[in-house]
Amino acid sequence: MTRNSQKIRFFRKHIPSFECEPGCRDCCGPVTTSTEEIARLPVKRHEEYEAALANLSCPHLGDNGCQVYAERPLICRLFGTTPRLACPNGKRPEVMIDPQIEQQIQHFFEKTRHVLV
């Protein structure tokens, strides 16, 4: 397991979860993610990426929501757990992310090569 994979695993354990508004897709837009995280996602055709980008959406978003929810990238997990990425519907976990963990994730984002999902 690579060092980045270990960090991703650690961060996933420390990002609080909550129930989203049913049917909401407000945070399911184009995002960037580390190459380690995108490698865990199903490969999409170029046309699927282009169509999603044209709609400011995610190629892994289906009719019933996120099709890769268990493997969704860190940035997707952060939405709604921090005031910096607040849920537009006001949803949030009981306890927001620890500011130190959020800072570590931000540092990871700055130091890690990211690609567009």
**Model confidence at 114, in pLDDT bands (50, 70, 90)?**
very high
Q: Look at residue 28 and tell me whether its pLDDT is greater than 80.
A: yes
The pLDDT of residue 22 is: 84
What pTM was computed for the model? Answer: 0.92
Pure H helices in the chain: 3-14, 35-38, 46-54, 74-78, 99-111
Any idea where the domains of the chain sit in the sequence?
Answer: 3-16+26-116
Q: Which pLDDT belongs to residue 20?
A: 87
- The pLDDT score that the predictor gives to residue 21 is 85
CA 4 to chain centre: 16
Widest distance between CA atoms in the chain: 39
Give the pLDDT band (50/70/90) at residue 9.
very high
pLDDT at 85 over 80: yes
What mean pLDDT comes out for the span 5-21? 95
